[in-house]
Amino acid sequence: MRIFDPHIHMTSRTTDDYERMAAAGVRAVVEPAFWLGQPRTNPGSFADYFDSLVGWEPFRAAQFGIRHHATIALNPKEANDPRCRPVLDLVPRYLDKDSVVAVGEIGYDSMTPEEDEAFTAQLAMAVEYELPALVHTPHRDKAHGVKRTLDVVRESGIDPGRVVVDHLNEVTVAAVHDSGCWMGFSIYPDTKMSPPRMVEILREHGLDRVLVNSAADWGRSDPLLTLRTGEAMLAAGFSDDDVDLVLWRNPVAFYGQSGRLDLSDVADTGPLFEGSSILRGGS
Amino acid sequence: MEQNAWLTDAVARVGADPPAIVRAFAAAGRHCPDVIGARTRLLRALPADVLPHWIDDLYRHGDPNEKLAVLTALPLLPLGAEAVPLLHDAIRTNDTRLLTAALGPYARNLDQHAWRHAVLKCVFLAVPLTNVHDLDQRADRELAAMVAALRAEREAAGRQLPPDAHRLLDRIP
């Protein structure tokens, strides 16, 4: 099984995770810029964070044979802090970097006017820099948040085929399916989605425009739940090719729209990587 | 040929309007197969009076490949020692590509203390010493003592230095 995790916050994970991911077949990841638990209070903190997402983290991932790309944005939660608003002036420079494959995570947290403004401005950046957009949906008041998200996406003029609306579930999937946007699902140990529930959604809504991610971060989460979802699909009667579509070809197709996805080292269909045996370079 | 047309146009734009280098420098890899060569040409298109400013800006805001291109181009540009702070930054990182690039010909501007520590870091990280410019001319007894001390630590732990570090010790009188 070859796996592309289209949403995972590797900055918060250890080298043990990288080893287990490589051994499980994870060959590529996209790390969206988001919040870090502890709120930041100035744009310089974001500059260092963004530098890490296009610098140190890809270097670290490469030690384990994993290709790392990023998405860059001012996230909705911190968009509410006036001290962080100048981050919107930093974002465009990062959108020109080779390893940045989308604008994100953008969208809503509490649906404030400040979030509206940052969301709209950054959708416009996605259009200007010809990048896809990764849209976070709120964990509270989600159904309302998703509806409002789709309205804003529609008004922005961006092609819905270049937008993924993330963290969906049984209640919110249909509206996004009908909008033409891609559907993102985060598989978590307790919250969000589980592998068996994900399989049911795939049965009902099909495999097209679906991205399955672990969204693993600094909270309780598991970077191998992409693999577990693939295993649950096979157990439920989906084919190897179905699993490859959802866990590899779909994310390649979505982020490939950036024209910047570089999988030259990892895209072959050969045998799986074997943990630390693929270590290379560095100390 | 279209790629060359992009670069020719970008070089002309940068010569007339230096801030245009920001986007051209970042995008060069998506238009030119030889990205280091293309980025070097863009840097050489900058007017000399603004070169130190843009070298610093492009390095500070660059991704690792952009930083690498700046470091690689330094010896080819009309610069004095202005860019030494960039070498210090690159040597501080744990990115072995940047460390290696910091020890090219422009490292003649590094003082001997900083240079020795950078070479020792190469040994520590098993970065090949073949790319260290003027290694044999510049290696001195103090560097040899530092490398020998690292060898003693490694051997006490049952580990070895890379072979090229042993060869370096053999060459220092």
Name the one residue in this structure whose structure tokens are 């401005």: A121
| Predicted pLDDT at A272 | 39
Spell out the residues 6+ positions from residue B170 whose beta carbon is closer than 8 angstroms to its own. none
Domain of residue A25: give its range. 3-261
Check: CB of residue B118 under 8 Å from CB of residue B90.
no
Q: Looking at the partner chain, which of B23, B63, B126 has a beta carbon nearest the beta carbon of A55?
A: B63
Cα-only R_g, chain B? 19
Confirm whether A280 is domain-assigned.
no
The number of C-alpha atoms within 13 Å of B22 and in the hemisphere containing its C-beta is: 12
User: Residue A178 maps to which CATH number?
Assistant: 3.20.20.140
**Cβ pair A98:B65 closer than 8 A:** yes
Average pLDDT over residues A247-254: 97
Report yes or no: A58 at the B interface, CB cutoff 8 Å. yes
Average pLDDT over residues A164-182: 96
DSSP H or E run through A20: helix A15-24
Tell me if B26 and A98 make a contact (CB, 8 A cut-off).
yes
Confidence of residue A279 (pLDDT cuts 50, 70, 90): very low
B interface with A, Cβ–Cβ below 8 Å? 22-23, 26-27, 29-30, 61, 63-65, 93-96, 124-126
Question: At B87, is the pLDDT very low, low, confident or very high (cuts 50, 70, 90)?
Answer: very high
| pLDDT tens, position by position, A29-62 | 999 999 999 999 999 999 999 999 999 999 999 9
DSSP, collapsed to helix, strand or coil, labels residue B90 as: helix
Nearest residue on chain A to B67, alpha-carbon basis: A55
pLDDT (average), residues A187-200: 89
Mutation test of the interface with chain A: which of B39, B58, B61, B63, choosing the one with the most A Cβ atoms within 10 A?
B63
A56 contacts on B by Cβ (under 8 Å): 93-95
Q: Among candidates B125, B32, B25, which has minimal Cα distance to B73? A: B25
Q: Does A282 touch chain B (CB under 8 A)?
A: yes
Tell me the ipTM for this assembly: 0.91
pLDDT class of A268 with cuts at 50, 70, 90: low
Pick from B161, B151, B152, B89: nearest CA to B125: B161
Q: What is the pLDDT of residue B63?
A: 97
Q: Is the pLDDT of residue B90 over 50?
A: yes
Q: Which of B42, B54, B61, B67 to mutate to test the interface with A (most CBs of A within 10 A)?
A: B61
> Is A89 in the B-facing interface, judged by CB distances under 8 Å?
no
What are the extents of the domains in chain B?
1-83+94-110, 111-173
* C-alpha distance from B27 to closest chain A C-alpha (Å): 6
Residues 6+ apart with CB under 8 A from A88: A74, A118, A121, A122
Question: How many distinct structural domains can be found in chain A?
Answer: 1
pLDDT by residue (tens digit) across B101-153?
Answer: 999 999 999 999 999 999 999 999 999 999 999 999 999 999 999 999 999 99
In the structure encoding, which two tokens stand for residue B161, read together? 């230095």
Whether A56 contacts chain B with CB within 8 A: yes
pTM to 2 decimal places: 0.92
Q: Is residue A17 part of a domain?
A: yes
